[in-house]
Amino acid sequence: MSDTMKMQRLAAHPLAGTTMTGAQMIVQVLADEGTTAIFGYSGGAILPTYDAVFLYNQAQGESGDRPMPLIVPANEQGAGFMAAGYARASGRVGVCLVTSGPGATNTVTPVRDCMADSVPMIVICGQVPTGMIGTDAFQEAPVAALMGSVAKHVFLVTDPQQLEATVRTAFEIARTGRPGPVVIDVPKDVQNWSGTFKGDGVLPIPGYRKRLFAATHAAVEDDEAAAFFDMLCEARRPLIYAGGGVVNSGAATALTEFASEFGIPVVTTLMGIGAIDTTHRLAMRMLGMHGTAFANYAVEDCDFLLAVGARFDDRVAGVPEKFAKNARRIAHIDIDRAEINKVKRVQWNHVGQIGDALKTLLAFGRREGFRPDLSAWHAELDELRRTYAMNYDRASEAIQPYYVIEEINRLTRGEAIIATGVGQHQMWAAQYCDFKRPRLWLTSGSMGTMGFGLPAAIGAQVANPDALVIDIDGDASIRMNVGELETVTTYNLPVKVVVLNNYGDGMVKQWQKLFFKGRLSASDKSLHKKDFVKAAQADGFPYAVRLLDKADVPRVVEEFIRFPGPAFLEVIIDRDAGVYPMVGPGQAYDDMITGEFIASRNRGSEPKTPGPSEMF
């Protein structure tokens, strides 16, 4: 290398040319990539990197610079979901640092969860020394084989000279295109190796970069835009179906501007919540299995459907041929070509950046003077909202979960970050909470992982220290990672945790009542002895209260929300409260069950038992 090149490299990074261990290189690249917190649990095979984190933070403190806090959970699954919550709430790449063997295998579920919901995360695993791989050494696991089928990409670093570039490339892969988790398996000898830190450089991944370039630089050409507006011009009832891709790509503003300009109403998936302000005049809220009745009826009635960052999954399009059955045309915009025509045939598509595509279409429509009169459609939708509004038994003496969430929503006004576990409470929160902007709604969508809510809330609070973060959880779901209550208080995070306790796996019980003649096999937890309030108190929560009386709901909920530090609230809710509307698995929207308190177009129809091959 010439002297000039060396000078250029030194100028590019102040530490270029410095001798570092592999572990120190890992930590330095994490800092260079904008990591502001690490979530993880230590162990023998990752100790060199943990020591490097300690030394890095010590040096940062001595120089007056910002350290990179290390948040230690109760177990590695918690660390993975904390990193996921951090990523979902901030848009940055979450980082999870774990040891080999069980440390790595405990992160398999968070990795798959992030892959399913397109969340950018880096998992760095310690591994046994290179020469011992394949010998069944102590705490060895075949990480590459295990993670290869659930992650966006996996690296096993056996050449220490490639370590620095590998970590940098992992961030590139995790955050670009359709985001996802990348796993780096680093043997202990690679961490202990010493070499020269280059300060730049990535691995050659020409195939990925070529595909990425094609997708990110694909523009909607004028003839394509003209074809799109030819279809839209014919529509009298157009509807936008927005998925999690809108949130993940940062395209929410572009979506709102496009919808507002042309007056096109918007329904969102569970993962797309926040893609448009839920209080916006064009927002028709969530569609799908537990979507609002008026959103699902809007999908049935529309004559043109624009799917944006959505994938027609089974929770939305249970019977693809009957989904949006009156739509004469369907258009689809997504960054992932694999999603186009995968489930539902479309008449127009664009593979590329969602925000750029919407901006181009918006500009084209403005140039062409496109001003549709959709007043009749808007009036129809207003009537749908009124007639099929969300509702519940407001006269019940038992505490209804919907009432509790309405009170939380009244106080937070769509500005809080809401994380959830998985189950009935998850759907109630999606139905009854408002979200003024994206990245306020954190939930496990495609994987449906119980235990997600509490650690995700912790990660979100670390990413947004000044935000109000609330975990709305269920008694069964929070049990999965209840050990993370101590993590909240250990780091004095002002996370608010509310457990809606119906003494069991509520969603499972609902299915068992509807489809299994009320046989509550393994789902009734009424004999369990867990005292959640005592558990929270034992873990150091200064506010830990059990709510039993409906009359106390407004006062106690406000106390809980206003409490300045960590707060825990257990609410004993109606055990028979259900999630409605509900579209059974493998069924269409005209089979939707709305319960006793929400109107239905098909009132009186009996719930249909799912077929033998239908999913939960």
Catalytic residue numbers read: 76, 138-139, 188, 507
Q: How far apart are alpha carbons 84 and 78 in whole angstroms?
A: 10
Number of Cβ within 10 Å of residue 144's Cβ equals 16
User: Dihedrals φ, ψ of 119, to 5°?
Assistant: -110, 130
Phi, psi of 132 (to 5 degrees): -105, -5
**DSSP letters for 65-96:** -----EE--SSHHHHHHHHHHHHHHHSSPEEE
DSSP H helices in 218-317: 222-234, 244-248, 252-262, 293-301
C-beta neighbour count of 318 within 10 angstroms: 22
Q: What is the C-alpha to C-alpha distance for residues 317 and 324, in angstroms, rounded to an integer? A: 9
Pairwise CA distance, residues 515 & 444, whole Å: 25
Cβ atoms 189, 130 nearer than 8 A: yes
Burial 281-312 (b: 16+ CB within 10 A, else e): ebbbbbbbbbbbbbbbbbbbbbbbbbbbbbbb
Residue 485 identity: L
3-state secondary structure of 554: helix
Residue 591 to residue 602: CA distance in whole angstroms: 8
